[in-house]
Amino acid sequence: MAKRRGPAVAALGVAVALLATGACAQSAARGPADAGHGAPTAVVRTDAGTVRGTVSGRHRSFRGIPYAGPPTGEHRWAAPRPVRPWQGVRGATRPGPLCPQVPAQYGGTTSLEEDCLVLNVTAPARSGRGRGLPVFVWIHGDGTIGGGHLFDARRLADRGLMVVTVNYRLGVFGGFAHPGLPGSGTFALQDQQAALRWVARNAAAFGGDPGNVTVAGTSFGAAAIVGHLTSPSARGLFHRAVLSSGEGMMDMLAGMMGPQVPAYRWYTWRTVRDLRDAGRDVAAGLGCAGPDPGRALRCLRALPVKRILEVPYVMNVFQAFAFGEGVLPELPEKALEEGRFHRVPVLSGATRDEHRLFVGLTWDAVNGKLTEGQYEELAVTAFGKERAAAVLAEYPVDAFPSPALAWATVVTDRMWARGTYAQHTALGRHVPTYAYEFADRRAPMYLPVPAGDFDFGAYHASDTPYVFEDEALRGRFTPAQARLADAVTDYWATFAATGRPGRRGLAPWPAFEPGSPVPHTQSLAPGAVTAVDYAAAHNLAFWRRLG
């Protein structure tokens, strides 16, 4: 079986590794520097013990607070367990360890540390009196690299929010599945829910309101939130949701992420059986095969982290969530379509040119320019010969500056925009839904990709630094982009506080109404925050006709 499944699993790993770069702000963003010995401190009592953070300027910061016990030994691939209480005052001035990870094409972080289930709190230095602060919980994207402390939340805290950023188990440690393993394929989701339960118990101690919690994420993180929206065990843990470039209702046709990458019906979701089959293959490759699942798991849990990470693509194979049991009893996409999800307001959107990042990394910016012949071959691989002819007629190569941009537009429209619009529609039928498109086509590139003449446009996750502070990019924003960053952050913060993104001083942002002729989508561009006909801009009528 390992030989039969291996190539497909490896190809999926490559595809997901590229697609999930929504967390790439991690490789470039920097959190506030640790305070020196003479810096003011802040002391807070949590339910597990007292922590000492720092006060710097307008902010209070607490870093590396454990929200669950170490997932080590027999607790590797198990539900998160409670933190062991501590005596005295625990320092919370430095980041905790990143969860196990290896460098990716778009990020160089490395860690072998499993005792990594920590979170960080950033809040205004003065919380004021009266009701607690709205709480904003950030789930970073990617699913194989990064961590919460790599996102600097001071800009959001300046808007009166208590911001929590979270580490969770990644890749094979967060999504591993195996016969006889309870919770298979959902350990990352379980970690995130454990962090939300920590917020419910402890937010008030930091000046936050546990009755007003927004959970937000980008890319893989946004897909996780779609899972939480449909997970029975997440009921009541949050009251609003922000989905940035989410993949919860997205599929992938063959070749869209590269010539050798096959099609997948659900991009983010896998059946428990499929992931358990993959886990059995990985166990065999690690020398832990056998008819007794318990013995195989004991063997796997005894392996050093480094040995597991040395298996090619092992992190990316499990960069998905399993449905069919426990945490996700049914396919989240189906649950959204049929209205079975937690009723909370949602702010949801994507970028104008989502797929340009992946085309650039696969071809023009790294491996040579995509040719017209390759563009045609990719279309045939994805759509079949007959439908490819219709696609090539609708997106003729001579209508674009290059074949690469033609292909990026095809995939942005067919895969990203189609899935995003379906998500808006499913949500908007039942809850207040505010749709957006980030459209700054000159957004600075914050990822470590080669410089060149490829036009990345408003690439995947290019809106992240417009919300999270990034000192390296701050000097590269034009005045108009700096104003856009303020507006986007104001929208997100206002939504977290009230459940609506609009307020005085901001351009109006009506809700997305699925039954209207042109449901409102807010276009966010420098000097041009206005409505856009999202379906028309991404040619969705054509894709509906094509099927």
Q: Show Cβ contacts of residue 488 under 8 Å, excluding neighbours closer than 6 positions.
A: 438, 463, 466, 467, 524
Whether 245 is catalytic: no
List the catalytic residue out of 111, 219, 231, 462: 219
**β-strand partners of 66:** 118
Task: Report how far apart, in Å, the C-alpha atoms of 320 and of each of 274, 293, 454 are.
Answer: 11, 22, 30
Task: Report how far apart, in Å, the C-alpha atoms of 409 and of each of 190, 312, 347, 373, 543 are.
Answer: 36, 31, 24, 17, 13
How far out from the chain centre does Cα 325 lie?
A: 22
Relative to beta strand 41-45, strand 50-56 is: antiparallel
Whether 219 is catalytic: yes
Task: Residue 223: name the closest of 141, 334, 104, 136 by CA.
Answer: 141
List the catalytic residue out of 333, 354, 437, 469: 354
State whether residue 376 is helix, strand or coil: helix
Token pair belonging to 438: 């980030």
* DSSP string over 451-475: -SS----S-TTTTGGGTSB-HHHHT
Longest CA–CA span in the chain (Å) reads 70
List the catalytic residue out of 460, 462, 469, 538: 460
**Residue 445 main-chain phi, psi, to 5 deg:** -80, 115
CA dist 45 and 26 (Å) reads 29
Taking each helix axis from N to C end, the angle separating 293-302 and 272-285, rounded to the nearest 10 degrees, works out to 60
Whether 355 is catalytic: no
CA dist 176 and 184 (Å) reads 6
Q: Cβ(407)–Cβ(370) under 8 Å?
A: yes
What positions carry a catalytic annotation? 219, 354, 460
